[in-house]
Amino acid sequence: MSQAIILFAHGARDPEWAQPFERLRAALAASNPSVMVELAYLELMQPDLAAAAAALAARGATAISVAPVFMAQGGHLKRDLPQRVDEVRATHPQIRFSLQPAVGEAHAVIDAMATHIAAQALKQ
């Protein structure tokens, strides 16, 4: 099996907005050298999910886990993203796709945010 991850973010007009996602990609790649990691965006930035999936298919991915890098699950993750995952599933039937919950909902992530925010506030 050749595992891949697509980090799926919202996208923004400001190119600097992508920097934390690039850093997240680098952190994942560094700690999981056998896993292919690509970014994809809902809107305003490239590539979109279809282009990221096609790139990973061309590199031989057999399983792709789509990880929404969102703080919470709203309409984008409840409706738009599952539709897009269904579309890439139909385009790449040889690849097993799975869809993670919003990363911002994970307990460990919430704990890390709480610790960081409290430390910043106490530095005030």
Residues that bind its own copies (CB under 8 A): 3, 5, 7, 9-10, 12-14, 16-21, 23-24, 27-28, 31-32, 35, 63, 65, 67, 69-75, 78, 96, 98, 100, 102-106, 108-118, 120-122, 124
Per DSSP, what are the bridge partners of residue 38?
A: 6
Annotated active-site residue 10? The verdict is yes
**Nearest approach, Cβ of residue 50 and its own copies (Å):** 20
- Residue 33 is given by DSSP the state T
**Nearest approach, Cβ of residue 51 and its own copies (Å):** 20
Catalytic residues: 10
